[in-house]
Amino acid sequence: AQSVTQLDSQVPVFEEAPVELRCNYSSSVSVYLFWYVQYPNQGLQLLLKYLSGSTLVKGINGFEAEFNKSQTSFHLRKPSVHISDTAEYFCAVTVNQAGTALIFGKGTTLSVSS
Amino acid sequence: DSGVTQTPKHLITATGQRVTLRCSPRSGDLSVYWYQQSLDQGLQFLIQYYNGEERAKGNILERFSAQQFPDLHSELNLSSLELGDSALYFCASSAAGWGNEQYFGPGTRLTVT
């Protein structure tokens, strides 16, 4: 079975500072990895995904993530955050098979203040 | 806008009642997934349908059931509701094939009183 651990439940940062949201996963088989963002009172929106190939993945809104197989990590980064990045961020994993469900981490609340 | 629609947006009902949540997937997507989001359990996968057939089951209670219709919309039925069933219920859809990118609807917030 797969599992996802998001190491920080809350991350407060100041505007224009860099941020890293940490995610570790556990799986005995190959996985696909995802980061989703949830703004208040909204559904989840895909930020980026890793399927294969380059371990550095670029997503929307200036976010990127790096897949590290040896450390089973998929940390999300942004060099300079904005107030509008305040949201809940979810790391998710699914097995390397079409049509299977996502297993989510507990989420990290990113709070950006001025 | 993800292209996935869910109705209703909010639902308030009493314990012991039964409700039906509806989801219309993105045009062309054959897979529909249901997830439950609660404060204590986080986001949990409930059930998946693919082109009308049940494909996978997660942590879905026996009091809950779902189906996918020929037009590909899906309904999640929750019965004998308990206070603990209060949560956000999300539907997601994906195309068949490689990549598993799922598009989420805005959710239905269920409050059981």
Scan for tokens 């790096």, then name that residue.
Answer: A66
pLDDT of A96:
65
Integer angstrom CA distances of residue B23 from A91, A98, B104 = 24, 21, 10
Residues of B in contact with A107 (CB under 8 A): 42-43
B42 reaches A (C-beta below 8 A): yes
pLDDT (tens digit, 9 = 90+) per residue, A74-101?
999 999 999 999 999 999 998 766 557 8
- The total of other beta-carbon atoms located within 10 Å of residue B56's CB is 15
pLDDT at B98 over 60: no
Measured distance CA(A39)–CA(A33) in Å, rounded: 20
Measured distance CA(A64)–CA(A43) in Å, rounded: 21
pLDDT (tens digit, 9 = 90+) per residue, B32-75?
999 999 988 899 999 999 999 998 888 899 999 999 999 999 99
Residues of B in contact with A104 (CB under 8 A): 35, 42-44
Chain A 50-69, residues with CB within 8 Å of chain B CB atoms = 51
What is the mean predicted confidence (pLDDT) over B4-12? 97
Bridge partners for A78 per DSSP? A19
User: CA of A42: which chain B residue's CA is closest?
Assistant: B106
User: A17-26, B7-16, B90-99: which has the minimum mean pLDDT?
Assistant: B90-99
B7: three-class secondary structure by DSSP? strand
Radius of gyration of chain B (CA): 13
Q: Give the gap in angstroms from C-alpha B13 to the nearest C-alpha of chain A.
A: 20
DSSP 8-state assignment for residue B29: -
What is the mean predicted confidence (pLDDT) over A1-28? 94
Measured distance CA(B48)–CA(B38) in Å, rounded: 19
